[in-house]
Amino acid sequence: MDLNRRDFLKTASIASAATAAACSIDPRTPVEHYLPYVQVPEDELPGTATYFSTACGECASGCGIVARAKEGRVVMVEGNPDWTEGRGLCTRGHFAVSSAYGPERVNGPTRGGATLEWDAATQEVVAAIKAAQSAGKQVAWLGQYRTGSLDSILSDFAAATGLRRVHWEALGVESLLAATRQAFGVSTLPTYELAGAQVILSFGLDFLGTAYGSMGMMKGWSAAKNPNSGGFVTRLVCVEPRVGITSAQADHFLPPNPGTELAVALAVARIAADKVGYANAGLLAGVDVAAASQLSGITQEKLSEIAGWITEHPSVVLPGGAANAGTLATDLAVVTYLLNDICGNIGRSVVFGKEQSYGPVSSYADARALLEDARAGKIGVLFIDGANPVYNFPTSDNAAQALDAVDFLVQFANESDDSTRAKSLLLPPGSSLEHWGDASVTTGVNTLQQPAMTPLKSSRSVGDTLLALAKAMALPEPVARQQLLLIPLGNSPTADSALTDLPPSAQPMGFAHDSFRLYVQERWKRRVYDGNGDFDAWWTGVRQSGGSFKPAAGGALPLALATTPAMPTAIAGSDLALVIFPSPTLGDGRHANRPWAQELADPISTTNWTSWAELNPKTVERLGLGVTDSVTVKTTSGEITLGFFGSPGVREDTVAVVLGNGHENMGRFGTGRGVSPMKLVSTATDSAGALATYTARASVSRSDATSDFFALIGNLTMDGRPIAMAVSAEEAAAHPTGKAGEIVEIEEVPWDRRLEEQGIHDFFPEPQHPTYRFAMAIDLNSCTGCMACVAACGMENNTPFVGPDQSRRGRVMSWIRMDRFMEGEGEYVDVRHMPSLCQQCSHAPCEGVCPVLATYHNLDGLNAMIYNRCVGTRYCANNCPYTARRFNYHTWTWPESMYLMLNPDVSVREMGVMEKCTFCIQRTRAVKDSWRDVHETVPDAALVSLTACASACPTQSITFGNAKDASGTVSKQFQSPRAYTLLGELNTKPGIRYLAKARHHVPAEKAEGPGHGGGETPAEAEPAEHKEG
Amino acid sequence: MRSLPGVALVFALVTALGVVAGCSTNAVAKPADEEIFPIGSKNLAPNTIVDIPMSASPLEIDKMTFFPEGLSVAVGDVPAEVITQPIAFPHSKHAKDMGMDCQYCHSGARKGQHAGVPPTQVCMGCHNVVASDGRPELEKLKAFWADGKGDPIPWVKVHDLPDFVYFNHKRHVLGGVQCQECHGQVQEMGVDQRVASLKMGWCLDCHAQHALDDSYGTQQELRRSELKDCWTCHK
């Protein structure tokens, strides 16, 4: 046996090479077919994207979006720049694509796994409605908020059939609406104009996260935080129990004693009223500031200081939202309106006229009454439209039992969920990217939802189903609405009044339309179209721009309060006060079956795919918890066991539990992840009937169960290094314009002082960038850590979702990581978010170590990555100081239907290959290509929001551009006094500069420039007291 | 077992020769003298096209037909098997005999990334009024059309680039590259056959040496460098 393995391989490879050279039939290349269209759709050009302006259907806000379709399938959604709030899209909006391709979508009407024909299903529903009516039972509707045409057709349907409508959402606005009714006598919500507000006082509104209207408020926030726009940096004061995504931006985080936010509001109102000489100061005469201070635990000096800020500067006071849902939520919201009135904000930053309406809004109490009637056997048919009562109701309500008592259940859902019972008839409404619809939330702003692709599965929009039902039931056309015309006495011989028909715009629409598309069109013709010019031309324009965006002018309303709410009492008990907060990605739990929603790390705890509790590190210590321990949280309503995160942003006497996971039936991605906090919640409500989740105390104890909590960003602190930098707001405001380096140090530091003495600053030659040096500026000042960039990057670049197990092995593939640092405690707890991606270095440490030249610096300044050249040594990842590279430990797969959402412009990588941010090379290449046609360099305007992350950013914190263009946006940002390069001392010359956050009250040592490590030895630094699982 | 390497080598050579002998050639006939394609009037290599002996290997054909002297040919070749299509579409009939422009059917070539295979609708634009009696290929076409309700014709991809390659027809057509430079003398072919290796070296040869159009002016050198950037084609 002289032939060793090596020789044999050599010989064999010669043999195969000879074969290959002789006749190359590449065995790896399968025969592929090219299937052309039979009849080509209008304007379809294979390989070229088609863009549809439409409306987002992921929540009732109906934001304007643009859907990008390639070869007939939508692969990406982005904000519609024509829309009132401009470009940018919230994190959850991005999930529209993955909802459309959900692998569990049913194909046509389904019951218990069996599929029905649409006609048969319609007949069944009609028969059930008739049976219910003849049996004297009710036909009811339990659904999400609906505006626009669907609200309109539901109104007519309800009028004709006696349908009982309940529109309830777990993160709803019922207490805010009740407060507006009490304070102003209107049933709409004011729009908050944050742009000019120098002080924002928030009592828990998650206006940078899950709150309704957050897209507009994020735009305003971005302007208010920008020292260049008004020469000031807004001061955010948050009075709420937990640091969440919004309060992470707070300059002053003031959690009062649990349940006493109202006392703070009243006391601040009293002091403010005295300061400004408020006309109705008598309203607040009974407020005892000293007692409020005593009750809330916030000093009188601090209360006076807050009152001073909001009265002396343009301000806005935001009412408590879902994060502050106590039994006094409505009262608190009323007092915030009073505060706004005292500060003169009504009509300035709290705007009526251009106001928001979410259609009929019911309270939890209404929804509960409906389920009680169901339990009592009074409901014959129940339609469930986008609601999930079994998950969102307190577990003690046993909503499942109530649903079982309904004779006939109809659920408008594409996939079964917790509320699907064995007898539920699923009528799939399809994706919002497949059907017609509209939304009308802000006065004068109407977004049109139009199909961007043919339905993936047999589905009918809710509107179409209602039309079909109305036709099958032969519902009478609604009678014309009339108005009473009063005629002065004596002018008419026969009557002193007469009935006349209202104009068509006020008439009910009826059910005669052949499809919901025509219904929507007719409604727009009557209600939105202004009658000028040809309607068809106008309608074409609307379909191109995605709606009609003419927001009404803002105005004021007089505050009409007779009394002010009484002083609250703190939540009784000695245990920890329980706070339930919504997950920024899962919302109220409706997105739990979206793999991206699960994969995105929570911006505060940085965990994914599970639930967790948040405890103050001191509480953790007191309870003797170790990092892998779980905690059992127990209230009188129930108990749950889950992992915990030690967050300095929670009071020591408070425990916060996340809402969104813990589903029993939510598809393959959502079922059985984490636990539902609704087990802990009692059925207490506030005065508006809203569910009060912040009312109880919970005992927290160590559990023997293993925790599945894991922080993807393991470190809370920057360990004294200048990573996500902050400067004082005063200094930033004093330098609205200026030169780079004025506030923070930007210089790259020579790595070797001996070379510096010789005047040599670089070991490597400077790369040449003849035309472009693609670059990015990230303004940490307006960045909220919302994760929209991460979501958009994943969609655009086909990065796989890896699931909980692989995430916990550090194999998250997302090209952007949202770094989170959380230092300090108490009022000045300092949370900083930082989107961290490939810095596209000019002197990239990764490039020199690649043995096969799979990564190199290209002419456009990009650090290129050639996948099929990569052999997977991972040297580059080891050498990257920014941890920007991701290695494919597996060939990741998607569920079958989700392959359709992959972006065909981007390679799908496989096992053994390194990957990282490319600055969306497919987009830069495409835009360069179109400008090459006219032989021009790509202008700044075409680049500024080009990459997926920049396009997605709701606060426009990310700007992209060509650093060679001195007048470009990015070049200007690069010259900001707040600009710095990350780890500049490594002299990597990144293509990204960060703009330091401007914060009121920056601890002195944190405001230093990147410097040279600060001079301290690491031993002097405090060891990180961080608990992670 | 000392002799095993020798045995293996002999085996390899025999195999290779056998395969060569079995390979059918994609012989391409001499093109007509007249210009057929107005857009493709400046053929890169018209003078190098020669009559090809049937015994030539595909490698030689590649070299002989499409590359003037000085251009190297990457290792790797055209497929050995003759590709058959669901309809034996005669390119010569359309492009040569009738003088139709390539882009009448492949209309995406100047506009977008893919030149595109025409939708059946485009075929029927003419074949509606062309008698199909007794012409089986046209009967097949009409069956596929089925009054606009038929199935797509499952053409076999002849030029199939790997999925990680970005190739934009528009850029090449607007840059003055002839269809025939990559696709061969399609107007002489019946069913289209691939004549180029489509390997990276083959692409790069052109990117390094093909004449640039005049619009680059003083930027010629820069453009040349860009053309050799990996991220020009890899995605």
Higher pLDDT, A998 or A986: A998
**Which residues on A lie below 8 Å from B23 (Cβ)?**
22-23
**Nearest-angstrom CA–CA distance, A668 and B106:** 43
Q: Which band of pLDDT confidence, cut at 50, 70 and 90, is reported for residue A42?
A: confident
**Nearest-angstrom CA–CA distance, A26 and A29:** 6
Pairing state of beta strands A992-995 and A774-779? parallel
Q: Is the model's pLDDT at A634 over the cut of 90?
A: yes
Query: What angle do the packed helices A148-161 and A516-527 form, to 10 degrees?
Result: 100
Q: Which band of pLDDT confidence, cut at 50, 70 and 90, is reported for residue A47?
A: confident
Q: Summarize the confidence of residues A792-817 as an average pLDDT.
A: 94
The C-alpha R_g of chain B, in whole angstroms, comes to 20
Q: Summarize the confidence of residues A475-504 as an average pLDDT.
A: 67
A1016's tokens: 């301290």
Q: A238 near A784, Cβ under 8 Å?
A: no
**Which residues on B lie below 8 Å from A860 (Cβ)?**
231
Residue with tokens 């580059």, as numbered in its chain:
A876
Partner-chain contact A19 B15, CB within 8 Å: yes
Question: Rounded to a whole number, what is the distance in angstroms from the first to the last CA of chain B?
Answer: 48
**Which residues on B lie below 8 Å from A770 (Cβ)?**
222
Residue with tokens 């129940």, as numbered in its chain:
A382
Residue type, A617: P
| A864-869, long-range: CB < 8 A, 24+ apart | A864/A918, A864/A921, A864/B229, A864/B230, A864/B231, A864/B234, A865/A914, A865/A915, A865/A916, A865/A918, A866/B230, A866/B231, A866/B234, A867/A907, A867/A909, A867/A913, A867/A915, A867/B164, A867/B234, A868/A913, A868/B162, A868/B164, A868/B234, A869/B230
Q: Summarize the confidence of residues A86-111 as an average pLDDT.
A: 93
Helix (H, G, I), strand (E, B) or coil at A455: coil
What domains are there in chain A, each with its CATH number? 198-345 (3.40.228.10), 576-706 (2.40.40.20), 726-1011 (3.30.70.20)
Partner-chain contact B155 A770, CB within 8 Å: no
Q: Which residues on adjacent β-strands are paired with residue A778?
A: A958, A994
* CB nearest to A21's CB, from B9, B75, B113: B75
Shortest distance, CA B34 to any CA of chain A (angstroms): 30
Position B143 in a domain = no
Q: Concatenated DSSP letters for B36-96?
A: --STT-S-S-GGG-----TT--HHHHHHHHH--TT----S----SSPP--SS---HIIIII
Q: Which band of pLDDT confidence, cut at 50, 70 and 90, is reported for residue B34?
A: very low
- Which B residues 136-175 touch A at CB under 8 Å? 144-145, 148-157, 160, 162-164, 166, 168, 170-171, 174
The burial class, CB within 10 Å (0-12 / 13-18 / 19+), for A881 is middle
Residue A29 neighbours by CB distance under 10 Å? 12
- pLDDT at position A1015: 34
**Nearest-angstrom CA–CA distance, B55 and A470:** 76
Residues 6+ apart with CB under 8 A from B198: B159, B160, B161
Closest CA to A299 of A250, A254, A243: A254
Residue B56 neighbours by CB distance under 10 Å? 17
Residues 6+ apart with CB under 8 A from A941: none
Closest CA to A331 of A177, A179, A172, A558: A179
- Interchain CB contact of B201 with A (< 8 Å): no
Distances (CA, A) of B172 to A423, A850, B104: 60, 32, 17
Helix (H, G, I), strand (E, B) or coil at A249: helix
Residues 6+ apart with CB under 8 A from A992: A775, A776, A777, A778, A837, A839, A840, A981, A982
Closest CA to A430 of A415, A446, A409, A419: A415
Dihedral, CA atoms, B93, B96, B101, B106, nearest 10 degrees?
50
Q: Is the model's pLDDT at A743 over the cut of 50?
A: yes
Partner-chain contact A11 B162, CB within 8 Å: no
Position B221 in a domain = yes
Q: A103 near A897, Cβ under 8 Å?
A: yes
Q: Which band of pLDDT confidence, cut at 50, 70 and 90, is reported for residue A322?
A: low
* CB nearest to A905's CB, from B145, B215, B235: B235
- pLDDT at position B8: 44
Residues belonging to chain A? 1029
Domain that holds residue B77: 4-117+155-232
Residue A504 neighbours by CB distance under 10 Å? 12
Q: A673 near A610, Cβ under 8 Å?
A: yes
**Nearest-angstrom CA–CA distance, A487 and A474:** 38
- Interchain CB contact of B59 with A (< 8 Å): yes
B88's tokens: 């034996």
**Nearest-angstrom CA–CA distance, A461 and B148:** 28
**Nearest-angstrom CA–CA distance, A142 and A411:** 10
Q: Is the model's pLDDT at B19 over the cut of 70?
A: no
Residue A38 neighbours by CB distance under 10 Å? 20
Residue A716 neighbours by CB distance under 10 Å? 23
- Interchain CB contact of B120 with A (< 8 Å): yes
Lowest-pLDDT choice from A697-711, A961-975, B44-58: B44-58
- pLDDT at position A289: 95
Burial of B133-164, coded b for 16+ CB within 10 Å and e otherwise, reads eeeeebeebbebbeeeeeeebebeebebeeeb
* CB nearest to B113's CB, from A16, A48, A856: A48
A553's tokens: 């002018």
Closest CA to A610 of A805, A816, A767: A805
Residue with tokens 């179209």, as numbered in its chain:
A529
Partner-chain contact A37 B112, CB within 8 Å: no
Closest CA to A54 of A517, A432, A448, A434: A448
Lowest-pLDDT choice from A205-219, A316-330, B167-181: A316-330
* CB nearest to A46's CB, from B12, B116, B144: B116
- pLDDT at position A747: 58
Q: A58 near A96, Cβ under 8 Å?
A: yes
**Nearest-angstrom CA–CA distance, A727 and A996:** 6
Higher pLDDT, B66 or A39: A39
The burial class, CB within 10 Å (0-12 / 13-18 / 19+), for A613 is buried
pLDDT digits 0-9 by tens, A145-175: 999 999 999 999 999 999 999 999 999 999 9
Q: A439 near A446, Cβ under 8 Å?
A: yes
Closest CA to B164 of A558, A667, A670, A913: A913
Partner-chain contact A19 B8, CB within 8 Å: no
The stretches of A348-416 forming alpha helices (DSSP H) are 364-375, 389-392, 399-404
- pLDDT at position B13: 42
Select the residue from A2, A10, A23 to test the B interface by mutation, using most B Cβ atoms within 10 A: A23
Position B141 in a domain = no
pLDDT digits 0-9 by tens, A405-453: 999 999 999 999 999 999 999 999 999 999 999 999 999 999 999 999 9
Q: Summarize the confidence of residues B45-64 as an average pLDDT.
A: 41
- pLDDT at position B24: 36
**Which residues on B lie below 8 Å from A769 (Cβ)?**
none
Shortest distance, CA B118 to any CA of chain A (angstroms): 6
Residues 6+ apart with CB under 8 A from B34: none
- pLDDT at position A872: 94
Helix (H, G, I), strand (E, B) or coil at A757: helix
Position B130 in a domain = no
Distances (CA, A) of B76 to A371, B165, B178, B203: 71, 17, 22, 12
CA closest to A925 among chain B residues? B232
- pLDDT at position A3: 54
Q: Concatenated DSSP letters for A321-354?
A: -GGG--TTHHHHHHHHHHHHHHTT-BTTTEEEEE
Q: What is the largest CA-CA distance in chain B?
A: 72
The HSE-up count of residue A319 (CA atoms within 13 Å, CB side) is 29
Lowest-pLDDT choice from A129-133, A515-519, B83-87: B83-87
* CB nearest to B80's CB, from A25, A35, A46: A25
Select the residue from B124, B164, B169 to test the A interface by mutation, using most A Cβ atoms within 10 A: B164
**Which residues on A lie below 8 Å from B78 (Cβ)?**
24
CA closest to B164 among chain A residues? A907
**Which residues on B lie below 8 Å from A15 (Cβ)?**
8-9, 11-12, 15-16
Q: Concatenated DSSP letters for A116-144?
A: --HHHHHHHHHHHHHHHHHTT-EEEEEE-
CA closest to A771 among chain B residues? B222
Position B211 in a domain = yes
* CB nearest to B23's CB, from A23, A771, A866: A23
Shortest distance, CA B48 to any CA of chain A (angstroms): 23
Closest CA to A997 of A732, A817, A785: A732
Instruction: Assign residue B136 a region (left: φ > 0; alpha: ψ between -120 and 50; beta: otherwise).
Output: alpha
**Which residues on B lie below 8 Å from A866 (Cβ)?**
230-231, 234
What average pLDDT does chain A have? 89
- pLDDT at position A455: 94
Backbone angles phi and psi of A380, in degrees to 5: -85, -45
Residue with tokens 């953790």, as numbered in its chain:
A620
**Which residues on B lie below 8 Å from A908 (Cβ)?**
163
Position B134 in a domain = no
Partner-chain contact B231 A21, CB within 8 Å: no
Q: A696 near A578, Cβ under 8 Å?
A: yes
Q: Which residues on adjacent β-strands are paired with residue A958?
A: A778
Select the residue from A10, A38, A905 to test the B interface by mutation, using most B Cβ atoms within 10 A: A38
Please tell me chain B's helix, strand, coil percentages from 3-state DSSP, rounded to the nearest 5.
45, 0, 55
**Nearest-angstrom CA–CA distance, A693 and A322:** 9
The C-alpha R_g of chain A, in whole angstroms, comes to 30
Backbone angles phi and psi of A933, in degrees to 5: -55, -35
Position B142 in a domain = no
Could you say which DSSP state residue A560 is in?
Answer: -
Beta strands in chain B (DSSP E): 155-156
Residue type, A569: T
A107's tokens: 């194909």
Residues belonging to chain B? 235
Structurally, chain B folds into a number of domains equal to: 1
Position B218 in a domain = yes
A74's tokens: 């939508």
